[in-house]
Chain A
Amino acid sequence: MSDTHTSSQGANKLVAEVAMQSLRRHKLIDQFFVIVGLTILFASLLTLALLFTDLVRDGAPRFGWDFFTHFPSRNAERAGILSAWVGTSLVMLVTVCVAMPIGVAAAVYLEEYAPKNWFTAIIEINVTNLAGVPSIIYGLLALGLFVYKLNLGQSIASAGLTLALLILPIVIVASREAIRAVPRNIREAAYALGATRWEVTAHHVVPYSSGGILTGLIIGLSRAIGETAPIITIGALAFIAFLPTSPVTSDFPYVSFTWLSDPFTVMPIQMFNWVSRPDTAFQVNAAAAGAILLAMTLLMNGIAIYVRYRFRKKINW
């Protein structure tokens, strides 16, 4: 009797010990996983830092005022990014002017107006799918549609429109999220005072969600500014040693739109052109252009994060 008692006690002890051992092992696995996770995380972030320092180090000899004020040249040391940054600015101007109204309007429609039916579902599925279409396909679309069918040619307008279509899903998705975050009672209060649907939308919903909309737009633009493939596809020239026509003129009416149909180059194309040259002197230019491009994208993303943070903090529904 006492024999069996002690043996069962021993067995219990054994079970407890095995359980403890197993628990200890699993706790160890936990700690091991934390180390693995942190290592991979920091390795990825370190890659970003490495990438940036690499570009800055390689491109250091070119940083200076001249790099911004010179046209590309056969001589690597005198080549600059004047036509590239002017081109990028003008293309981005077209992109904003097209993507912002269409994107916000589509988001407003889907969130505030659209009835729940198959027709709305088709629009929604299209927006989701467009976000997954490779950017070079947009380039082919632009080549076939804008350049040849609509005869816009290899111009700033074609490039701006292409990039606008490319970032449209980003702007729509971000704007929808921002609009959805506006509480229902704000809308109901406005309706109760006799506002029409458009008045509720334009006076209340859109202004209150402007922070989120702005964030989405900046993220979209930071994507557009670095896009290379679709612009190459529409046939942007890489060697442009002149500027587009100035948008501001000295004669009445002081603005001109001929720049829209001018040939152009943009920063990423200029960088691609330099990087694919066998002469290593041009690699320095490529690194310098890349560092500036990367700094611009990181800056835009930083602004987006800041705007999102500010608006989130300011609003207390």
Chain B
Amino acid sequence: MASPETYVPQNHLRRLKWRKSRDRVIEFGLLAAGLVAVFVTLSIAMILITESLPFFEKVSIKEFLTDTMWTPMFDQPRYGILPLVAGTLVTTMVALSLAIPCGTIIAIYLSEFASHRTRELIKPMLELLGAVPTVVYGYFALMTITPFLQKFMPNLPGFNMLGPGLVIGIMIIPYIASLSEDAMRAVPKYMREGSYAMGATRFQTATRVVVPGALSGIAAAYILGISRAVGETMVVAVAAGLQPNLTWNPTESAATITAFIVQVSLGDLPHDSIGYQSIFAAGLVLMLITLIFNIGGFLLTRKFREVY
């Protein structure tokens, strides 16, 4: 029988060895969870490319990019993505023309003018605006904003890009305001104090010291806003009409890339039909547009980055 002096440490050592090996197994499991993100990105790229390849076998890239009609479900189909891209860009522009000024002003107000208490109270309330389900915003655009706009523009059709564009703008205000405000608050306090010491007012300090100093973060906020607006689906699907229409006029009805994907998905498509393949081609274009904005934003933020 082993004496207690030798028995205890040996048991202890065995336990420690077991705990160590358990640690290694668990670390491996945690790493696997981290790799899920990489796996998702790769799957997105792979699925969009492989599923749209059959589409590009039937439709030339030239036709896809230059034709001005998008009617893949018609008897005589035409496959020009331009009308969908135009619809996407128009709604995005309308949204940004509302969200960028409003979001930036709110951010400056919260960061430079509001008291700590006000900021802590207002910020979560503002974030609720971004939490509203998009289909609810769609209803709002169709049943409230468009009829309201029609009072001033009697010729505005029931489905148009202006109303949904404005609603998307409201939706992305919190993103732009919240991220810009974070960027502005990251500007060191001594920069503000230097400005105040020179006799500048709050507004002068905000526009000439804080905003230039936070420009890279603000640009990143705008880029996120653009990504949201480009990818927004339900608001336009509900309220912008689903007819592809090559126009730059926001008061007309049109379909966006996202709305087209929804419209096709609502029907029951066979796996090998060109309609099924066309939504992946449209998705690929959407992804590329988002990517272009993000790369542009990355270069822009790097150019404006201030290091304190």
Q: Which residues of chain B in 10-61 are interfacial with respect to chain A, using CB atoms and an 8 Å cutoff?
A: 19-20, 22-23, 26-27, 29-38, 40-41, 43-44, 47-48, 50-51
- Residues of chain A within 8 A (CB-CB) of B201 are 23, 26-27, 29-30
Q: Is the CB of B265 within 8 A of A33?
A: no
Which residues B133-160 have CB closer than 8 A to chain A?
A: 133-140, 142-144
Whether the pair A33, B138 counts as a contact (CB closer than 8 A) is no
Residues in chain B near residue A140, CB distance under 8 A: 44, 47-48, 51, 261, 279-280, 283
Quick one: which of B260-308 are within 8 Å of A by CB? 261-262, 265-266, 268, 271, 279-280, 283, 286-287, 290, 294
For window 32-58 of chain A, which residues contact chain B by CB distance below 8 Å?
A: 33-34, 36-38, 40-41, 44-45, 47-48, 50-51, 54-55, 58
Q: Is the interface of B mostly helix, strand, loop or mixed?
A: helix
- Nearest A-chain residue to B136, judged by Cβ: A290
Other-chain residue from B40, B144, B232, B265 in contact with A130 (beta carbon distance below 8 A)? B40
B268 to chain A, nearest CB (A): 7
A197 to chain B, nearest CB (A): 6
Collect the chain A residues with CB atoms within 8 Å of residue B47's CB: 140-141, 144-145
The interface residues of chain A lying within 8 Å CB-to-CB of B133 are: 225-228, 268, 290, 293-294, 297
Query: What interface size band does chain B fall in?
Result: 35 or more
Q: Which residues of A contact B105 (CB under 8 A)?
A: 33, 36-37, 40
B30 and A105 contacting across the interface, CB-CB below 8 Å: yes
Q: What residues on A are CB-neighbors of B173 within 8 Å? A: 44
Within 8 A of B (CB), among A74-123: 101-103, 105-106, 108-110, 113-114, 122-123
Question: Is the CB of A260 closer than 8 A to any CB of chain B?
Answer: no
Contact A55 B29 (CB under 8 A): no
**Is B95 an interface residue, CB under 8 A from the partner?**
no
A144 to B174, CA, bound (A): 33
Interface centre among B105, B129, B135 (most CB of A within 10 A): B135
Binds B, one of A3-11, A179-187, A250-258, A270-278: A270-278
Q: Taking the nearest CB of chain B, how far is it from the CB of A267, in angstroms?
A: 8
Chain B CB within 10 A, most for which of A44, A114, A136, A223: A136
- Docked pose: A275 CA to B159 CA in angstroms: 13
- The answer to the question of A178 belonging to the interface, with a C-beta cut-off of 8 Å to chain B, is no
The answer to whether B255 has its CB under 8 Å from any CB of chain A is no
Distance (whole angstroms) from the CB of A203 to the closest CB of chain B: 12
**Residue B65 interfacial (CB < 8 Å):** no
Chain A nearest CB, measured from B185 CB (Å)? 16
Contact yes or no, B134 A55, CB < 8 A: no
Q: Does B170 contact A (CB under 8 A)?
A: yes
> How far apart are the CA atoms of A145 and B44 in the complex, in Å?
9
What's the minimum C-beta distance from A282 to chain B, rounded to whole angstroms? 12
* In the complex with contacts A54-B140, A136-B286, A275-B238, A229-B134 CB distance below 8 A: yes
Complex alpha-carbon distance, A294 and B126, angstroms: 15
If the complex has contacts A132-B224, A144-B51, are A44 and B102 also in contact, measured as CB distance less than 8 A?
yes
Beyond A34-B109, A51-B136, 7 extra complex contacts between A and B, CB < 8 Å: A41-B106, A50-B144, A51-B137, A134-B227, A226-B131, A272-B237, A275-B135
- A–B pairs, 19, beta carbons within 8 Å: A23-B199, A41-B126, A48-B125, A51-B140, A54-B140, A102-B33, A109-B33, A109-B34, A132-B294, A137-B48, A137-B286, A140-B51, A229-B134, A233-B262, A234-B265, A235-B265, A275-B142, A297-B132, A301-B131
Among all A-B residue pairs, the 8 with the closest Cβ atoms? A134-B231, A226-B133, A37-B109, A105-B33, A144-B47, A109-B30, A229-B233, A126-B37
Binding site for A on B (CB under 8 A): 19-20, 22-23, 26-27, 29-38, 40-41, 43-44, 47-48, 50-51, 102, 105-106, 108-110, 113, 122, 124-129, 131-140, 142-144, 170, 173-174, 199, 201-204, 224, 227-228, 230-234, 237-238, 258, 261-262, 265-266, 268, 271, 279-280, 283, 286-287, 290, 294
